[in-house]
Chains A and B, each alone.
Chain A
Amino acid sequence: MAGKNELTFVKGNEAIAMGALDAGCLCFFGYPITPQNDIPEYMSKAIYEVGGEFVQAESEVAAANMLLGAGACGVRAMTSSSSPGMSLKQEAISYMAGSDIPAVIVNVSRGGPGLGDIGPSQGDYFQSTRGGGHGDYRLLVLAPSSAQEAYDMTHKAFDLAFAYRSPVLILGDAIVGQMKEPIRRRQGTTAASNEGAQWRLEGTAAGLKPGKKPREHRILKSLFLSDGELAGQNQKLQAKYEAWKDLVEFETFEVKDAELVVVAFGSIGRIAKNAVRALRKKGKKVGLFRPKTLYPFPEKALAKLAKEGKRFLTIEHNLGQMVEDVRLSVRKHADSELFCVYPGNMPSPDDFEAPILRALGRK
């Protein structure tokens, strides 16, 4: 391991694994699927070095349910997958959201629908930001655009998951996951020994001196059949999601005097930034807005830019998903154009210059 302030040269996927380990992750449940295999491969050795446990599950379904079990014990745990596998994990994610069980889930997404391809894609934006499984719930969704961000966001995801007792999703893609970059690791875990002490499952006599009367047994569940009980639980969830609005994060670049703001997230956000930089050099008044939290979505910040009279172009690696959130955010003052990158293609900044100029030219 690199010492303090030393740089480590790793793949984004490895950075995710390192972020988890440095945050105190003690259980990892994996299943092979491209392009996220570096994560379980790294974990299958490294997690034992910190006294943790690794299981290669029989399926993504099982891996996510193992995560549910570990999370119910108040232990920092993670699973990772890629798009088709994420569909299978949704069952347990819905149960975890409904039962207030913290966990971190990583989606190094790939092209879809169906088996799709193994290349980069942002086709899982809807699935990620709308809950993903059945029922009325949301996930906190963090979208890294670099290996360092993948590390930092994964690290932070554990704190958020336990602070809010909720599953937290890291939405990366094949570009972020496979790209090799230097990262700086943090020292020391943020996991607290009394984490979840008020709700975690550990046996009714845990922590009691022998002979003391056991406490009432604890139940973590999402089944609420009595009159009004489920409504109460869903209101509690809603309040939690409201509170998340303070956690919103985004990056802006050259937006101050921009006439056109490009909105893009993840690896596409990073590529678009280079396109914006190149166009600035040519004197074009364009800027970039990159949401780092996809849920909560930075709607207020976008609305403010719209009020200032800016116009918008959303660039996504899909047929147009985040653009709906952008349009909702700016709807009082503006609209957003859309440029789609199709899965199977690895875009370069040059690919974005023409569509940005077209959007800038249209009044």
Chain B
Amino acid sequence: MAKAKSAAKAAPAPKAGAPKAAVKKTAAKKTAASKVAPAPKKTVAKAAENEELVFTRPAALADRATHYCPGCHHGIAHRMVAELLDEMDLAGRTVAASAIGCSVFLYNYIKVDTVESPHGRAPAVATGIKRARGDKFVFTYQGDGDLASIGMAEIMHAANRGERITVVFVNNTVYGMTGGQMAPTTLIGQKTTTCPGGRCKDREGAPIRMAEIIAQLGGTAFCARGSLDSVKNIRQAKKYMRQAFEAQTKGLGFGFVELLSGCPTNWRLSPVAANKRITDEMIPYFPLGVYKELEGDATCGSLIAPGTAAGGAGEGK
């Protein structure tokens, strides 16, 4: 299944030279967040001779503690989004649509212009943004309760229209923010606060596999499922995310990446055990890999003149 042939140029970790480190320091001073929680002191931060900083905070990621629980994978997904915004030089022209759930505070962590969407509607909101300002990079960041349940119509139609937007879909098989209720992605037998006896296929249906569904839709240019349970998978997931971003920047169509993620708190597991659950239980049901990869140019033959299809209503105003 996994093709992932366009080996992404960037190394898994951002190659940070002196300039990036400098950006980071100024950013830390500026953010409102740093007023609330001042950037903690580092024990050893000075670079020694012939030493280079090979892993550090991307400039688009705010220097502040997150509200996420220990071991929650939102932090990893946020960081990778921010890394890509930096690496692809997109942050300055990005407008994001945040969703409802634990990641509702996306705008506190990723420093791009952001509008808050109602539950499940981020793909519709992103459609409005992209149609209004076709020159912007537009992404949504949604959980499985948001995207695969209440937002099913919006995600499917945005994908089918081939909206030039990118969707980062974090699947942790529960409604995290509200206390771990059953989600459409909850595995059979998995106990949650609203299926305390375990999800039953006859009663609640089978877990929805979104990457497979989205890949079937006409406007999807790139669709993949990655996982955040291991270093190897995280690095692969970032390559997928880059491709999903590029589906938009190249004007190919809708970009979608699903990320299997841990929710130790609501799974009632330690972070280490939660990661193991992803490996042992989630990946077998939600196979990893690229589900669709469109190449070349995809323009629709309508009233829209070439260029305006992904161009939007707003010129550079």
Contacts and interface: CB of A to CB of B under 8 A. Distances in A.
Q: Do A and B touch directly, given a CB cutoff of 8 Å in the complex?
A: yes
Interface string B21-61: 00000100011100000000000000000000000000000
A27 B128 CA distance: 8
Contacts of A208: 92
A256 interface: no
Given A69-B127, A99-B115, A223-B104, A59 B153 contact: yes
A72 B111 contact: no
Contacts, number: 168
Contact of B113 (A55, A66, A218): A218
Interface residues of A, number: 50
B308 A51 contact: yes
B131 A55 contact: yes
A29 interface: yes
Contacts of B179: none
Interface string A207-235: 01000011011111111000000000000
Given A68-B125, A69-B124, A201 B312 contact: no
A69 B304 contact: no
B304 A48 contact: yes
Contacts of A92: 118, 121
Nearest to A57: B124
A27 B313 CA distance: 7
B131 A219 contact: no
Nearest to B150: A61
Contacts of A77: 128, 132
A42 to B, nearest CB: 14
A73 B153 contact: no
B124 A66 contact: yes
A205 B157 CA distance: 31
B268 interface: no
A51 B307 CA distance: 11
B5 interface: no
A203 B132 contact: no
Given A51-B315, A91-B118, A216-B30, A203 B94 contact: yes
22 contacts: A26-B132, A27-B131, A45-B303, A62-B127, A62-B154, A63-B124, A67-B128, A68-B115, A68-B117, A68-B121, A69-B127, A73-B132, A92-B118, A99-B116, A201-B115, A204-B92, A205-B91, A217-B112, A217-B114, A218-B113, A220-B114, A220-B115
Given A95-B118, A203-B137, 14 more contacts: A26-B132, A26-B314, A45-B303, A51-B315, A58-B154, A61-B154, A62-B121, A62-B157, A66-B128, A69-B126, A69-B127, A202-B133, A205-B92, A221-B107
Interface of B: 26, 30-32, 91-95, 97-98, 104, 107, 111-118, 121, 124-133, 136-137, 153-154, 156-157, 161, 303-304, 308, 312-315, 317
Interface of A: 26-27, 29, 45, 48, 51-53, 55, 57-59, 61-63, 65-73, 75, 77, 91-92, 95, 99, 101, 193-194, 201-206, 208, 213-214, 216-223
